[in-house]
Amino acid sequence: MRIIIDTYSSRCVINKVCAFTDRVVSLAWIHSTPSRWQTFVANRVTKIQVYIAPDNFYHISGKENPADFLSRGLTPSQLLSHPLWFPGPRFARSPPDEWSISQFYPSTITDLPESKTTILLISPLKRTLRYLSTHTRFTHLILA
């Protein structure tokens, strides 16, 4: 995305950058804070959010997603003649206020893949204080 924006920003004024996906999970990742996710996803979400605001992401069906056909093993000649590859989906050729798609607003983003897990250990205070009073070095305390 950065390369496309950098290449075309010197040739024309870019007022808004929109992105489209057919993956609801990806949209939920993008619409939340990156720190919620494991490192790989968090890094990607951070990079994406630098260039495209989460409100500029739209959900489309797999049938309208030109990139979806790449994952289905099309040959280069099939890709060149595919009706979605160069012209894009029909809605993208009309003004944004006429698009028949909607923005994605997750109602809940729990139980998603790549969520960070939180582990909580509760220990009786008496036992913890005993360890602290009998060990003079932190390394010994860790090994205890």
Question: How does pLDDT run across 33-82, given as a tens digit for each residue?
Answer: 999 889 999 999 999 999 899 989 988 888 888 888 888 888 888 888 88
Query: Is pLDDT of 110 > 80?
Result: no
Please report which confidence band the pLDDT of residue 128 belongs to, taking 50, 70 and 90 as the band edges.
low
* pLDDT score for 46: 96
d(CA 27, CA 23): 7
Share of the chain above pLDDT 70, in %: 74
Confidence of residue 2 (pLDDT cuts 50, 70, 90): confident
